[in-house]
Amino acid sequence: MNAFTLLPFIVLIAAMFLMTRSAKKKQQQAANMRNEMQPGSGVRTIGGMYATVKEVNEDTVLLDAGPGVDLLFAKNAIGAVLTDDEYNRIVHGIEHDLKSDADIVPDDASSLTETDESADAAAAASDDKAVDLGKKDAAEDKADEAPEAAEDKADEEPKKTDGDTDTK
C-alpha cells in the first residue's frame, strides 16, 4: 500500500482521538467542580435554578432554594459552582465593586439636567459661539428676494396642468 492512501485514515483517527480527549477533559473538569462543592456555596443547576448547597452526599446534593424550600438534586444536575460575589450579584442583586463610589453613574438623568451657578458661569465665560448651520441664512435670503424675481422664477418653471392640452 501507498503512504498517500493511508494518509486520510491516519488524519481521521487523529481527529477522533483529539475530539474524545477534549471531551474527556471537559467531563473531568465538571466532575472535579462537582466534587469541590461544599455546604454554603452557590450553584446553578442545568435547568437554570440558583440555590445554595445545604448538604453534599455521594451522588446527590441537597439545595436550599429559599426559606423552607429544600430540594434534592443529583450531582450531575449541577451546571456550575459560583463564587460568592457572582452568586450574590445574580440572586440578591448585590454588586461588590472594588472601585470607588465616585464613579457611579446615576439611574436617572435628573443630575445631568439640573442647573447650577458654576455651570452657568462657565457657559458665560466661554468664548465659543453657536454653530451656524446656514438654515437661518437661507430662509432670510428667500424673504429678501424682490417679488419680481419670485415671479420670474415662477415663469421659468413649467406650470402644472390637469392633463388637457390644446396641442396635439
73-77 contact pairs (CB < 8 A, 24+): 73/45, 75/34, 75/37, 76/34, 77/45, 77/46, 77/47
Give the Cβ contact number of residue 119 at 10 Å: 10
pLDDT digits (tens, 9 = 90+) for 24-57: 888 888 888 888 888 988 999 999 999 999 999 9
pTM over 0.75: no
Evaluate if residue 63 carries a pLDDT over 90.
yes
Q: Are 54 and 63 in contact (CB under 8 A)?
A: yes
What pLDDT score does 113 carry?
66
